Amino acid sequence: MIYTSIASCLLDKVDIEQSKHTKKTQLIIITINIIIIMGGGASKAPFASVEEALAAGKTQEEIDNYLKENPPPAQKDISELIAIDADPSTAVYEDCIANNCNDLSDKCVAITGTTGNGTGFHASVGAVRLKAKCLILLNRSSPRVQTCIDKLKAIEGSNSTEIVSVECDLQSFESVKAAAAKVNEIATKYGGLDVLLNNAGVMGVPDTRTVDGYDVQMQTNHLSHFLLTLSTMSSLENAAEARGEARVSQHSSGARSKQRATDGIGNLLPQYFNKAEKDALGGGKGAFERYHQTKLANSVFMMALHKKLSAKGSKVKSVVAEPGVAGTDLAYNLARGHIKDGGAPPEKMAMMLGGMKKNYPGMQSAADGAASLMTAGFGKDINSGDFLMPADVPQIFKDGVEGAKPVAVGKAAKAITEGKATPPSDHIKTRFEDEVLTLDEGNQTLLWDESMKQIQSYLPESYVAL
């Protein structure tokens, strides 16, 4: 049974106190837990957690009998098990396209991570609806890529957009190098690359390594995007000269704040940018410390690049966006990664498989979550050094509903304007402390130096140092 298989995997790799109960009993209890979480017999289960089972003094025979009388339901797809109940509304997204974005009919756009139900997919839809001349989709090889292409080509008016797929595995610098060369080749036909949206990312995954030896989160979320950006800079410059501007946007998140930092300070630390042994960067407990480092890296990269481009008088704009809390595939990928690795204890697995909706009631749709990214890349009145993020909070929080949190949702506003903090609300000002970590020059220097050290050998010969 899938439940027992998952439980066995957990027991093989997770440290559980052997003094509390035997391994076989642990296996049964964990199996019961997973059955309950996955929707199997929640109303009949004699207990709902490991602690409750132990406290109730259930014997191994009693648990065996329960499993015999209440077999688990048929296996479900994991995407169903951890589905997120987000607000289905796309009003913010539609308003962004209708009122906040420029016509893209003479533009060439490239976006990383466009499959599934993520912000990259919805930004791609936006690019097609805004009549982009060329749309380059940068993804790992997967059947989902063709699904994405089919959906984009089904959009009314999509014939005006050339949709091109380029394989790009962000967990391999060689793959990114090859993808950048292909992007430059394609962009030449259009007089340059007008917009690069570095959207793709992973969240809270196990402390594993890429083929290049780096933390999966850091290489996927930042280092490979750093390489991609510098490797396509000549194409961005060509478009900027031809049409007055070009843009490159990073995609950060609320995790950039020091709240996820174990030291209570939150600055970037060099060890996260360098190669390391598996589980050497905090293991399972350090998953969101690593995520914090990558999401802060995204916003810090924006600022460091903004300063370098401005100093040379470039017309390429460096911007960054935050989606707020949205019902994308990130939680699915997080849970899948921990199931595959077996690195999460049962109660943490329960939280992941149970979905994010209990932690973030009132979250917006994935489409609405893409509005800030689209505003950064396609929006009107955007300058280099701007940081776009949702400025509102869920209505249920305003209504005082128990458990609701003041998470970021709604229309995009500037948290940083041309390199200076401009928090659009008191909540954002307090939480991110006027973006002190993003604006810190020490963080900017560390990021540039450490990132360049890791990717320099993969840069094309045409790269001109900034």
Provide the CATH topology of domain 91-458: Rossmann fold (3.40.50)
Mean local confidence (pLDDT), 315-343: 70
CA distance linking residue 131 with residue 109, whole number of Å: 11
Q: Is the pLDDT score of 448 beyond 70?
A: yes
Structure confidence by residue, pLDDT tens digits, 390-401:
988 777 777 777
Structure confidence by residue, pLDDT tens digits, 190-225:
999 999 999 999 988 889 999 999 999 999 999 999
Q: Output the pLDDT for position 399.
A: 76
Q: Is the pLDDT score of 387 beyond 70?
A: yes
For CATH 3.40.50.720, the residue range(s) in the chain are 91-458
Q: Report percent pLDDT > 70 for the chain.
A: 73
Q: Output the pLDDT for position 18.
A: 38
CA distance linking residue 190 with residue 354, whole number of Å: 46
Q: Output the pLDDT for position 429.
A: 94
For the chain, what's the residue count? Answer: 466
Written as one string, the DSSP assignment of 257-291 is SGGG-TTSS----GGGGS---TT-S-GGGGHHHHH
Q: Output the pLDDT for position 331.
A: 55
Q: Are 310 and 384 in contact (CB under 8 A)?
A: yes
Q: Are 28 and 61 in contact (CB under 8 A)?
A: no
More confident residue, 454 or 410: 454
Least confident of 24-38, 270-284, 330-344, 368-382: 24-38
Q: Output the pLDDT for position 20.
A: 39
Q: Output the pLDDT for position 401.
A: 77
Greatest alpha-carbon pair distance for the chain in Å reads: 76
Stated pTM of the model: 0.80
Please, which pLDDT band fits residue 2 given cuts at 50, 70 and 90?
very low
What is the average pLDDT value for the chain, to the nearest integer? 82
Structure confidence by residue, pLDDT tens digits, 89-116:
889 999 999 999 999 999 999 999 999 8
Q: Output the pLDDT for position 395.
A: 73
More confident residue, 331 or 402: 402
Q: Are 298 and 222 in contact (CB under 8 A)?
A: yes
Q: Output the pLDDT for position 406.
A: 75
Q: Output the pLDDT for position 238.
A: 98
Q: Output the pLDDT for position 212.
A: 98
DSSP letter, residue 83:
-
Mean local confidence (pLDDT), 302-311: 98
Structure confidence by residue, pLDDT tens digits, 7-46:
333 333 333 333 334 434 444 444 434 333 333 333 344 4
CA distance linking residue 129 with residue 123, whole number of Å: 10
E strand or H helix at 455: helix 441-455
Q: How many alpha carbons lie under 13 Å from residue 171 in its C-beta half-sphere?
A: 12
More confident residue, 13 or 63: 63
E strand or H helix at 197: strand 195-198
Please, which pLDDT band fits residue 292 given cuts at 50, 70 and 90?
very high
C-alpha pair distances (Å), 377 with each of 15, 40, 148? 45, 44, 20
Q: Report percent pLDDT > 90 for the chain.
A: 63
Least confident of 5-9, 133-137, 203-207, 299-303: 5-9
Q: Is the pLDDT score of 242 beyond 90?
A: yes
Q: Output the pLDDT for position 285.
A: 86
